[in-house]
Each structure stands twice: as structure tokens, then as C-alpha cells.
Chain A
Amino acid sequence: MQPMAEWMVNILNWLLIAGGQLWFWTWENLKAICGVLWGVVDAVLNPVLSPVLSILNPVCVVVGDVIYAAIDLLPIWVGLILLSAGTGVVMLVFFRYTSNQTAIARAKDDIKANLLALKLFRDDLRVVFSAQGKVLLAVLRLQRHVLLPVLLATPFMLLVMAQMGIRHQWRPLHPNERTLIKMTMRPSSGKSTQAVLRAHPGVRVEVGPVPGGNQFVWRVRAGQLGRHVLQFDVGSTVVEKEFVVAKGLERVSALRPGADWTSQLIHPVERPLPTASPVESIEILYPSLESRVYGTDYWLLTFFVVSMIVALILSPVFKVKF
């Protein structure tokens, strides 16, 4: 019995090791394939989306500023909940008019009817299998009808979340607070390019820049309160970056991106750096906003939970089916 048990354990181990290696191999290759595919999609989309976002982002920032100014007197968590609830309502109305409500209602009716059939004719195998198949088909149909409006709503949602992100993901630096400024250079910029941060009352350089890799990094302390524009001399060009020092909460731009649509989507505040610039991006490591309701990362959870609950509660009012 003992050798048999040992033999079985060995087989099990071998299967687990082989299974693990197979899984690892599959996962790595899947990642590589996805990476290649994403590269192709990105290459195709970027020339289109980057200029579009360059136009859209300033408009969105202004709209965001107006909305946040309107709720400025409220506690920030109340403001976030109100905005999330409002987004839930907007999405509900959007869904109402972009989806085929009749088809959705029909698919849901089919599901209900076949579930009832399953309950009533549980002894009849033929009916059971048939009803199960129909439920499955109805669910797929329902998904198809839901998918289109969701896809149409996604760009709007991303723009909304980007506006919320710049106000909840980070907070401005407090006076005398320490942080890092990272300037990433384009590979084509040449190793001899130097970068100098011009003196500014909003910032005091403690150390740097320390070059290395394709980056220049400064360690700085925040200076005077204000929404400053820092200027960097990079080779023969001047590059600018917004730098916010405030005691309260304000929107911040953690990164000034290059002409890259994904970065522009997440960091919408500043104009993207020109393609001809030797600088690829400039990042300021703003501190996280500490709150488990509206702070770093948690704001996203609050946003999704509140907007979905509001949409669910109000769906009968707006006569929306999903």
C-alpha cells in the first residue's frame, strides 16, 4: 500500500509540475501575443486618437472644473457620491436610447419563460434540456444587446473617470513637502542632452538632476502656494510642466505625456509634448490622497458602486431594462 501511495503522489506531483509548466508556457505566450496585438492596435489608433484627445481633453477639463466648482462647498465625499450618482443616471438614460429595449425585454422574457419551463417540467428530460439550451441562447442574446451600448458608453466613461482621477488619485504638494520630478527622454534625444530646471519660487531643488537610464530625476521641495509652471531647458528647447502647491485639494497633473493616446486619456490636463521634443514625458510624484472613500484608488470603487446602485434603483423610473 505504501509504495502504491508513494507512486500515486509521484504521479500527482508530476502532473502538477507538468501542468504548472504548461500553464506558465501558455500564460507567457498569451501575454506575448496580446502584447503584439496591442502594439498593432495602438499603432493604428494612436495617429487618430491622440489628436482627438488633444482637442477633447481641454474641453473636458473645463467641464470638470465647472462641475467641481459647483460642488466645491460640499464635503469631497458627498461631491464624489453626487457625481457618481449623476453619472449613473446619465448612463441609464444613455442606455435607454442606445439599446434595443424591445429586444432586451424579449430576451429577458425568454429567459423567464424557459426558467419556468424548467421548474414545471423537471421530470421531462427533453423539455429540461431544451429549456436549458434556450436559456443559454437568450442569455447570449441579452449580452449581445447590452454589449453595443456599453461599448458606445465606454469612451464617455473613460473621459469622466479621467476627470475624477486627476482630482482624487493624487493630492497637491503641501508647502515644503518633498517629492521627485522625473523627466523621461526619447531614445532619439542623444546621451549628451542636458536638462536644467529653471529657478522658480514654487519649487526648491534639493538634489539633481541625477541622470541615468533615459531619465533625469530631481528631488525637490515645494515652495510657494500656487499652480505653477516649471520650465526646463533641455538641449536647445524649453519644456514646461504644471506643478501644484496647495493646502487643500485641487486637481493635479501627475504626468505631462507625449503624443500617446493611452497616457493622454489618463493624464488629460496638459497638452501632450510635441513629437519633435527630446522629452517623452515629465512626471511629478504627487502624494496619494489618503481616504478610504474618495482617496487614491478607493474613489474608483466608490464611483462604480454608487453609480451602479443608483442605476439599478432608478431603472424602473426611467423604464430601462438591462
Chain B
Amino acid sequence: MNNFCLSGGVRPASLAPRGLCLLLSMAILAGSCREQDATFPKVIVLGFDGMDPKLCERLMDAGQLPHLSKMRNNGGYRRLATTIPPQSPVAWASFITGADPGIHGVFDFIHRDASRQCVPYYSVAETIESDQGWEIGDYKIPLTFWPFNHQAVETKLRRGGTPFWDYLDEAGVPVRIYDIPANYPPSPSHAGHMCCLSGMGVPDLLGTLGGMYQFFSDAIVVARDEPGGGGMRHPLVFKNHTAKGAITGPRNVYDRKGKSARVPFVIHRHPSDPTARIEIQDQTIVLQEGEWSDWQEIDFELEMPSLLPNAHVVGMCRFYLQKVHPTFRLYVTPINIDPSDPGDQKISEPPEFVTRIADELGRFYTTGFQEDHKALSNKVFSDEEFRQQADYVLEERLALLEYALAHYNDGLLFFYFSSTDLQAHMFWWESDEKHPVRSPTEAAKYNDVIVELYKRMDQVVGDVVQRYGETATILVMSDHGFVNFKRQFNLNTWLRKNGYLRPSDCGSLLDPTKGAPVDWSRSRAYGMGLNGLYVNLKGRELYGSVDPEDRNALLSKITEQLLAERDPQNGKQIIAKVYRTDEVYTNPDAATVPDLIIGYESGYRASWATTLGDLSNEVVADNDATWSADHCIAADQVPGVLYSNHPITTNDPSLLDLAPTILTLFQVEVPQTMTGVTVFDRKDAVVATVGFPGKRPIKE
């Protein structure tokens, strides 16, 4: 935000204008991020999710990343050790808190509820439904006001620990954070100096992590809801080149039957030209084949009892006309929370931070996963269509970065890019081996997309350095690297094969229709999530069978067997490391933490089925998905990167060092929960903080 009365450290000449400024500030900025009258050091952190050191080094050696190379040549480059496991929510939670998963409590994308045996849930946020309310007919309406004080539906951040920016906030340092993962709903700013826009983890309006829609007239494609909130596919029937459809919106939380709101639309397609017109609510959208619409507001009406006015939930989406003739296909993005009118959905701190951005920039993606990888995985998108959509996301994010820089004076600025992660998952293939789904030519072509993306990110870094390199400490970091994902390992099938999961014909931990149900009284361990292995422990799991005193021996035996496992296809080791969480984490919560974290070898990863508890016939199989690269393996095989415009003096920096480094740059005391150390020499840190008014004590 522009500091209209005190910009760039310029102070008012007399007390009178200062008082006037203060009054105006209080009046205008009440409830928004507070502005300071001091000049603070400038620290800019650019977070590139999944930027890989091996590729960076290769491209730097080839002279293709000149700006990052310059930092390396000045001693400002190291590989950055990542978390165990190297998953984005885990790693970013560690970046945020400067602590390991034992402190912040995020161990995987997916956790399991041991009190219900192994029911999975999203690890970073949870939505708590209200069980109170005024029951009238088919409706139940929470009366959140006095004297009823019913609990409203609420989304809570599960990530624990204290974000490093809380200490800056308390010290009065201006903090601006854009698109930070693992912070939805955004943590509050206690002192009012922090503004934060949530990133990865923000759901769409349906509560999923990105459910697209496809409407099609193909006779052979089957209408279905894609698994895992991957979207909905609906058939259309054209009559005289006109068809009717409906976008399914959020569930009506007031309807006891849980009906979903729907917004009908009409499509008119040209009888012969590749054009079509969509009439939805009061909007008309005219598109040519291959074109995207702008963001369109969609107003979902939630029915209420007759006497009460209906409730409304407003979101936004874009339409993409994929094909008109002979078959018709229309893609609709997930219904994003509208940044210009987020309603009750809190996606920024303070809530008006996002609306201020939208007032200037217009609408932009707000869901945590913006690149629609599920559309590519489910064959709704072709490779090229995914690339175009991902390019659009990047352009939006670059505009947001421009906004962030234009409104930045001093203090901390953090900006996150997802492109380097989600595009890499779909396009990365650093190998001559056969790609899971692409021909060698296609695999090389799309791998080049990643190379070009890295070059683009290098330009972004160059631009920031050019504008702030003389006055700011700039950190460029990633949470992990990338490797090919060629073979998938079903941990639960392996456990079944080795007698840890019974009976021998069980097919799923959760779904009894997929083979025999699991006999928990005879099962001793199970896998859930991408890297977690849990002992079926008595007193913890609902149907626990293993006595606590037998746990250590069981874990040792499983570890030994896992490390000895070889791929029957090529004889390679599948699992590089097995981490015991009670050894690698600080005081983890025994109720939620996995007992073991499986660190796969490069080229291997947990199978798609095993992440949600399903078993397969084979323990190891080829990965047959477009999602052809990953990082959920042994942590030392996928480090991230750390660049700076100041020499980095520690030899082996880790993600846990970044929070202490940032606090030190602002001369804010590093709390004891942070085990890392600053990555800069003390004198460099002092150079970086010239002009800072002095150390600010913090309250613990």
C-alpha cells in the first residue's frame, strides 16, 4: 500500500501536518495494515516452489540464467536442505515457522484421524460444520447472534507454530506476503503491520482444492465427477444448436438435505462456424474455438425457508471454448473466490487486503492450485491447453508481483510462484528413458517448457535486483527440487505382502467394496498420505492391535525390510531412507504424526492408490500418469535452492534457517523454537540493516 503521508522515510516538517497525517491515517486505514513512520530495512523474498538446484546449476553453467549466475558468482548461492518429507505444505510450514514438523504439526498433504482408525483429512486446514441451528422445514439455520450464539460454519488453520512474521509484526516491521502456502485461513496480524494473501490451500467455492467443469456433447465420454475433487463432467444435448447446462455450486449449508446450488446457462453454437455464445445469469459470453473468457461473476443462490430472503454466495470463473464442431466441449475453471468480493471467505489478512489488490488489478485466480493439473491428468486438457492455462496463471502472478513491488516501501516482502512446481509436475522429464505418457520428442519439447520457465524466472529475479539490489537484501528460495517419477510403489500392498496388513485379499483401508475389508485386529501397520507409515497402535488407533512396547521392534523390522526392497523390473533400490519421526522431529504430536516417513529413491514415489489407502495387485508398477515428476522422496535427493545478493556464509543452509535469517536482518530476537541460524555473516547482516532504528524487543 502506498504510504501517502510518509513515503520512503520522508518525515513531515512540523508537528501540525504530522498530527493531521496521523488523524487521516487513523481514519482511512482503520482496520487495514498499519503504516509506519520509521524506515525499515528492505528484505525481499521470492519463493519459487520446486525450483530445482540441478537444473539451475546446469542452466547457470550454460549461461542461460545470467541473473542467478551473478548471485552465484558473488557467493550468494547454496543448495537448500528441505524438510522430511519434502512435500510443499510441510516445507512451507517449516519456512513459515522456522521449525520442523514436530512443532508446526504438518507432516504430509494428508493426515489421518486415528480416533476413526485411518480416515484421511487435509493437513493444513479444516472446515468445521455447525451442528447447531434453528430447524425449520428442510432447513437448519445457525443463529449466530445473541441469545442463540450458534456456531457458524468455520474454516480453521491446522498449521501450528508461530509464523516468523508475527515477531516482525510485533516489532512494528511492515510485512507484505503474497500467495504464501500453508497459511489458509490467514493467520491474524496482532499488531496490524502484516498483510497476507493466502496461497496454496485456498479452496474453490465448493470447498475442494480445484474442481473444474467440462460440458461436452461427445457421445462416448461418460458423465462423471472426477475423483478427489478433480471436477465434474456433464453431457450436453444440442437441439437446433442450442443446449442447456448448469454449473453446480456450493452445497447449501442451510439445507438439511445438502442440496447444491446450481446456476443454469444456455449455449448457442453457430451452425457451421467454430463460435459459440454462453448466456449465464445476465451475462453474454461470445467465444471462438480455443478462446478463454475473462473472469465472470457467478452468483449462487442458496434457498432459504419461504419467509427469509435467499442467501447468496458469489464466485467467479472463466470459460474456455475447447471445441465447437462436430462435438462440443466447454471447460469452466473451478469457481474461485472473487478477490473483489470475497464475502465471508477470508483469504487475506486483513480481509480488505485482497479487495484492495483486486480494485487495482481486477480479478485473478485465488484457489491455491491455480494451474489446473487435474484437467490435464484427467485428459480434459491437452498438453498444449495446460501450457496455455499455466502461462495465463503466470501472467496474472507477474502482474500481482508488479503490484506488490509498486506498493512496497520497506520491511519484508514475500512473493510466491507456483508455476515452477505445478508445471514441473506435468512437464519435467530430465531423462532419456521412456516418458510415462509422451513420446521422446514430446517429452523433450515439454521439458523445454520448464527450461524456458526457469529463464523467465531468472528475468524476474533480474528485474527485482535491478530495482532493489542496492537497497534490499534479496533472497530467492525454493522449498524442494524435482526428479522424474517413473515407478510407483504401493506401500499398503507391500505391507499386505509382508503380512503387516491383513487379510491377504484386502483391497482398501477405507472402501470395503474393493476386496475384503481390512482386519484391523490382525493388521500391524498401514500407509496413508504420500510418505507416512503408521503402526496400528493400541490406545491410539481406534482398532489398534500393536502393544506400545512392541512398537520399536516392529518399526526396526519394517525399516530393514523396506530398505532391502528391490524393484523386480530392474533390481534397483526403491527406498533410500526410512526416517523415524521420533528421531527427526522435535516433540511431535504422537496422535497425528506418522511413525515412519518413507524416503523413496529418485525415480520412485508412493503410488497414486496408496495415498488414500487403496491397494493394487503389484507392489511396484510404472507410473502411467501425466504427472511425471515429483519430489516426495528422500529429502537429501531433492534439495531446494537459495540465492541472495549477499554472500551466503553457511555451507549447508536449510529451510529452517530462513526465518532466523529474516528476523536477524530486522534485528529481531530469534525465538528458541527456531533451531536454524542466519545464513549471512554478521557484518553482511549489519550492512543489510543500515538505517534501521534499532533492535525491537519482542514479547514471548
Query: Among the interface residues A17, A182, A207, A219, which one has the most CB atoms of the partner chain B within 10 A?
Result: A207
| Cβ A23 vs Cβ B275 within 8 A | no
Q: Given A180-B284, A207-B286, A210-B276, A16–B136 Cβ distance below 8 Å?
A: yes
Number of interface residues of B (CB under 8 A): 24
Query: SS class of chain B's interface: helix, strand, loop or mixed?
Result: strand
- Asked if A218 is an interface residue, CB under 8 A from chain B, the answer is yes
- Asked if B207 is an interface residue, CB under 8 A from chain A, the answer is no
| Cβ A17 vs Cβ B136 within 8 A | yes
| Cβ B270 vs Cβ A217 within 8 A | no
Alpha-carbon distance A23/B273, docked complex (angstroms): 49
A34-50 vs B: 1/0 string, CB under 8 Å? 00000000000000000
| Cβ B268 vs Cβ A213 within 8 A | yes
Alpha-carbon distance A20/B137, docked complex (angstroms): 11
| Cβ B286 vs Cβ A20 within 8 A | no
Q: How far is the CB of A9 from chain B (nearest CB, A)?
A: 8
Alpha-carbon distance A219/B284, docked complex (angstroms): 10
Partner among A19, A20, A212 whose Cβ is within 8 Å of the Cβ of B277: A212
Q: How far is the CB of B669 from chain A (nearest CB, A)?
A: 47
Q: Given A212-B242, A213-B268, A207–B305 Cβ distance below 8 Å?
A: no
CB-CB contacts below 8 Å: B284-326 with A = 284, 286-288, 291, 305-308
Query: What are the residues of chain A within 8 A of B277 when measuring CB–CB?
Result: 210, 212, 217
| Cβ A13 vs Cβ B268 within 8 A | no
| Cβ B307 vs Cβ A217 within 8 A | no
Query: What are the residues of chain A within 8 A of B275 when measuring CB–CB?
Result: 207-208, 210
Alpha-carbon distance A19/B269, docked complex (angstroms): 45
Alpha-carbon distance A13/B277, docked complex (angstroms): 45
- Asked if A29 is an interface residue, CB under 8 A from chain B, the answer is no
| Cβ B286 vs Cβ A17 within 8 A | no
- Asked if A79 is an interface residue, CB under 8 A from chain B, the answer is no
CB-CB contacts below 8 Å: A246-295 with B = 285
Alpha-carbon distance A217/B273, docked complex (angstroms): 14
Query: What are the residues of chain A within 8 A of B136 when measuring CB–CB?
Result: 13, 16-17
Query: What are the residues of chain B within 8 A of A206 when measuring CB–CB?
Result: 288
Query: What are the residues of chain A within 8 A of B305 when measuring CB–CB?
Result: 16-17, 20
CB-CB contacts below 8 Å: B222-242 with A = 241-242
- Asked if A21 is an interface residue, CB under 8 A from chain B, the answer is yes
Query: What are the residues of chain A within 8 A of B308 when measuring CB–CB?
Result: 20
| Cβ A210 vs Cβ B270 within 8 A | yes
A168-210 vs B: 1/0 string, CB under 8 Å? 0000000000001010000000000000000000000011101
- Asked if A97 is an interface residue, CB under 8 A from chain B, the answer is no
| Cβ B270 vs Cβ A17 within 8 A | no
| Cβ B306 vs Cβ A210 within 8 A | no
Query: What are the residues of chain A within 8 A of B307 when measuring CB–CB?
Result: 16, 19-20, 23
- Asked if A24 is an interface residue, CB under 8 A from chain B, the answer is yes
Alpha-carbon distance A279/B307, docked complex (angstroms): 42
- Asked if A211 is an interface residue, CB under 8 A from chain B, the answer is yes
The tally of CB-CB contacts under 8 A between chains A and B is 59
Query: What are the residues of chain B within 8 A of A217 when measuring CB–CB?
Result: 277, 284, 286
Chain B, Cβ-Cβ closest to A27: B306
Alpha-carbon distance A222/B518, docked complex (angstroms): 67
Q: How far is the CB of B244 from chain A (nearest CB, A)?
A: 12
Alpha-carbon distance A17/B135, docked complex (angstroms): 11
Alpha-carbon distance A40/B241, docked complex (angstroms): 36
CB-CB contacts below 8 Å: B312-347 with A = none
Q: How far is the CB of B269 from chain A (nearest CB, A)?
A: 8
Q: How far is the CB of B437 from chain A (nearest CB, A)?
A: 34
Alpha-carbon distance A109/B30, docked complex (angstroms): 49
Alpha-carbon distance A182/B242, docked complex (angstroms): 17
Query: What are the residues of chain B within 8 A of A24 when measuring CB–CB?
Result: 306
- Asked if B266 is an interface residue, CB under 8 A from chain A, the answer is yes
Query: What are the residues of chain B within 8 A of A285 when measuring CB–CB?
Result: 284
Q: How far is the CB of A217 from chain B (nearest CB, A)?
A: 5
Query: Among the interface residues B137, B270, B288, B306, which one has the most CB atoms of the partner chain A within 10 A?
Result: B306
Q: Given A180-B284, A217-B284, A212–B135 Cβ distance below 8 Å?
A: no
Q: How far is the CB of A197 from chain B (nearest CB, A)?
A: 13
Alpha-carbon distance A180/B305, docked complex (angstroms): 38
Alpha-carbon distance A17/B139, docked complex (angstroms): 11
Q: Given A211-B268, A212-B268, A21–B286 Cβ distance below 8 Å?
A: no
Q: How far is the CB of B154 from chain A (nearest CB, A)?
A: 26
Chain A, Cβ-Cβ closest to B287: A207
Partner among B137, B266, B270, B279 whose Cβ is within 8 Å of the Cβ of A211: B270
Alpha-carbon distance A218/B288, docked complex (angstroms): 11
Query: What are the residues of chain B within 8 A of A208 when measuring CB–CB?
Result: 275, 286
Query: What are the residues of chain A within 8 A of B270 when measuring CB–CB?
Result: 210-211
A145-189 vs B: 1/0 string, CB under 8 Å? 000000000000000000000000000000000001010000000
Alpha-carbon distance A20/B138, docked complex (angstroms): 14
Alpha-carbon distance A206/B270, docked complex (angstroms): 14
Alpha-carbon distance A206/B137, docked complex (angstroms): 51
| Cβ B286 vs Cβ A180 within 8 A | yes
Chain B, Cβ-Cβ closest to A24: B306
Q: How far is the CB of B134 from chain A (nearest CB, A)?
A: 9
| Cβ A13 vs Cβ B135 within 8 A | yes
Q: How far is the CB of A175 from chain B (nearest CB, A)?
A: 19
Q: Given A17-B136, A208-B275, A213–B287 Cβ distance below 8 Å?
A: no
Query: What are the residues of chain B within 8 A of A13 when measuring CB–CB?
Result: 135-137
Alpha-carbon distance A285/B283, docked complex (angstroms): 11
Alpha-carbon distance A274/B137, docked complex (angstroms): 53
Alpha-carbon distance A76/B354, docked complex (angstroms): 31
| Cβ B306 vs Cβ A21 within 8 A | yes
Query: What are the residues of chain A within 8 A of B266 when measuring CB–CB?
Result: 212-213
Chain A, Cβ-Cβ closest to B135: A13
Alpha-carbon distance A20/B273, docked complex (angstroms): 49
| Cβ A23 vs Cβ B306 within 8 A | yes
Chain A, Cβ-Cβ closest to B304: A20
Q: How far is the CB of A18 from chain B (nearest CB, A)?
A: 9
B670-695 vs A: 1/0 string, CB under 8 Å? 00000000000000000000000000
Q: List 8 A–B pairs whose Cβ atoms lie within 8 Å, in order of A's numbering.
A: A13-B137, A20-B305, A180-B286, A182-B284, A207-B287, A207-B291, A210-B269, A213-B268
Q: Considering the complex of A and B, which 9 residue pairs feature the smallest CB-CB distances, nearest first?
A: A212-B268, A20-B306, A20-B307, A219-B286, A210-B277, A207-B288, A24-B306, A13-B136, A207-B286
Q: Could you tell me which B residues sit within 8 Å of A by CB distance?
A: 135-137, 241-242, 266, 268-271, 273, 275-277, 279, 284, 286-288, 291, 305-308
Q: Could you tell me which A residues sit within 8 Å of B by CB distance?
A: 13, 16-17, 19-21, 23-24, 180, 182, 206-208, 210-213, 217-219, 285
